[in-house]
Chain A
Amino acid sequence: MKKFLVSLNFIIIIASISLMLIGANTCGGGDCDSDFHTVCIISWIPDNCCNQSCVTFEPCIIHYRRWSEGSPPNYLDVTNWLPGASSYCYQTYKREGQIEIILRKFCCDGRLYCYYWSDKIPKPRADCDDNSTQTIKAPLFCQHMGNIQCIY
C-alpha cells in the first residue's frame, strides 16, 4: 500500500510539473494576431470653433474613417455618434500598430453648413496580453461653409 501511495505521489508530481510547464507557455497569454483590443474615441469641438447654430442644431451626420497598417484602408462609417457626448468604441487587432482617424461632421440648421474633421492620431495599443480599453482623445476642427443646403 505504501509503495502504491509513493508511486501515486510521484505520478501526481510529474503531472503537476508538466502542467506547470505547459501552462507557462500556453495559458491565458492571448494571440497577438487574432485577439482583439478595444479602442475608444473621445472628441470634442473647440470653443468658438464655429457658428453656434452649426454646433447645436441637429441632425448631424458623422463620418468616421479608420485604417490600419495591416490591411489598409479599413473604413468604418459611424452615423450615430456625437463627439463630446460619449465615446465611440470599436474592437481591433491588438497587434495593429498605428491607426489614423478622420472625423467628419455635417451639421445643419437649415441655413448653415459646417464641416468638421480631426487630424490623424496614432492608435493606442497594448501588449498582446493586455485587455484594457485604450482611448484616443482628439479635437475636431471645423470650417463654416455658408448658406447652403444640407447633404444627407
Chain B
Amino acid sequence: MKKGNYFIILIIAMSIIACNKNDVASINSKSKDKGKSSTIKIADIDQEISYSFYIFQSRTDNYLEANDTSYNFNGSINHYNYAYFPTDAGTVIINQTTLSKAAALSSPGSYYSLSSSMSLNGAFFPVTTSGNQYVPAISDSVKSPVNFAYITSPSNGSVISDNNDLAIEWDLVNLSGMNVVIEIAAKINDTTKTNYAIYYTTDNGSYTLSSSFLQGFAKGMIEINLMRGYYTINPSSNGKYYGIAAYTQHTITCKLTD
C-alpha cells in the first residue's frame, strides 16, 4: 500500500476517535438560559463545578397532623460528608475521615461518611483526593461554620397567617461573614400558587417575607430551610472546577393559612 493511503487511513481513524470521545470541553459551558449551573447551594454563584464536596450538619424538625392530632417532632443533629465525582476519584478524605463509596458498581463517583462529630469553630476542614487518570489530585480546605444556625422564629409547627409579614429569625454570629440561604417549599404542590422560593442573604439574624409573598404562596404545610456556612471554589489541575461547602442546616415545618 502506498504511503498516501496509510495517511488517509490514519486521518479517518483519528476522525472516528474524535467522534467517540466525550466532549471534554463541555465542562466549560455555562447554562444557556435555564438557571444557574452551580452545584454548591450555599451561595448564589454561577460557576460550573465538576467535583463537589459537602460537609454539613443537618437537623430536620417535622410537624404532622393526623387523626385530629398534631405531632411535633424535633429531629437530632446529624453529620454528613459527601463527595461527588463523575467517576472513581481514588481515596477521598475529608477532615481526617476517609469516605466510603456509596456503591461500588452503580456509583463510581459517590462518596460518603456519616459520623456524629463536627467542630463548628471556624477552623479549616482539610479535603483531599488521591486522584487517578480520571480525576486529578485535590488538596484544599474550607472554613468550618461557626455554631449551628437554628431557626429561632417561627417555631416548628407554628401556624402562620398570610395577613402579616413573616420574620424568619436565627441565632446570628456577629461579623462571621457566613453565607445564609433560606428556602421556603410547600409540601403540597399547588399549581396556582408559588410553591418554592430561595433567598441568599448574610448572617444578620433575620429575613422578612412580605405578606404579599405569603398570599401568593401555596397554603398548608410548608418547610422553611436555613443553611449557613462557608464555601470555596477553585480550579483543579485539569482546569475543571471543584467546590467545597461547609454549613449547618435547620429545617422546620409550619402551617401557612389564609
Q: Which residues of A contact B (CB under 8 A)?
A: 9, 12-13, 16-17, 19-20, 23-25, 27-30, 32-33, 40, 42, 65, 67, 69-73, 75, 87, 95, 97-98, 100, 102, 113, 115, 117-122, 124-130, 132-137, 139, 141, 143, 145, 148-149, 151
Chain B residues positioned under 8 Å from A95 (CB to CB): 31, 34, 37
* Shortest Cβ distance from residue A77 to the other chain B in the assembled complex, whole angstroms: 10
Q: Are B15 and A20 within 8 A (Cβ)?
A: yes
Q: Are B36 and A119 within 8 A (Cβ)?
A: no
Given contacts A9-B4, A97-B40, A145-B64, 7 further A-B pairs with CB under 8 A are A20-B11, A23-B19, A30-B23, A97-B41, A120-B58, A122-B82, A132-B107
Known: A42-B102, A119-B249, A125-B39. A73 touches B189 (CB 8 A): yes
10 pairs of residues in contact across A and B, judged by CB atoms under 8 Å:
A16-B14, A19-B15, A33-B34, A72-B198, A100-B225, A126-B85, A127-B240, A129-B23, A129-B24, A148-B69
Known: A115-B64, A119-B60, A148-B66. A40 touches B15 (CB 8 A): no
Answer whether residue B206 sits at the interface, using C-beta atoms and an 8 A cutoff. Answer: no
Docked Cα-Cα span, A24 to B71, in Å, equals 58
Q: Contact mask B70-102 → A, CB, 8 Å, 1/0?
A: 010101101010101111000000000000001
Chain A residues positioned under 8 Å from B84 (CB to CB): 122, 124-126, 134
Q: Are A97 and B39 within 8 A (Cβ)?
A: yes
Q: Are B41 and A143 within 8 A (Cβ)?
A: no
Q: Are A67 and B107 within 8 A (Cβ)?
A: no
Docked Cα-Cα span, A100 to B65, in Å, equals 23
Answer whether residue B179 sits at the interface, using C-beta atoms and an 8 A cutoff. Answer: no
Q: Which of B6-59 contact A (CB under 8 A)?
A: 7-8, 11-12, 14-16, 18-27, 29, 31-32, 34-41, 49-50, 52, 54, 58-59
Docked Cα-Cα span, A126 to B112, in Å, equals 16
Of A27, A100, A102, A127, the contact of B50 (CB 8 Å cutoff): A127
Q: Are A120 and B251 within 8 A (Cβ)?
A: yes
Q: How many of chain B's residues have a CB under 8 angstroms from any CB in A?
A: 73
Q: Are A136 and B15 within 8 A (Cβ)?
A: no
Q: Are B64 and A141 within 8 A (Cβ)?
A: no
Q: Which residues of B contact A (CB under 8 A)?
A: 4-5, 7-8, 11-12, 14-16, 18-27, 29, 31-32, 34-41, 49-50, 52, 54, 58-60, 62, 64, 66-67, 69, 71, 73, 75-76, 78, 80, 82, 84-87, 102-103, 106-110, 112, 114, 185-187, 189, 195-196, 198, 225, 240, 249, 251
Q: Are B26 and A124 within 8 A (Cβ)?
A: no
Chain A residues positioned under 8 Å from B27 (CB to CB): 127-129
Of B71, B75, B87, B195, the contact of A145 (CB 8 Å cutoff): B71
Docked Cα-Cα span, A37 to B234, in Å, equals 25
* Shortest Cβ distance from residue B80 to the other chain A in the assembled complex, whole angstroms: 7
* Shortest Cβ distance from residue A111 to the other chain B in the assembled complex, whole angstroms: 14
Q: Are A73 and B196 within 8 A (Cβ)?
A: yes
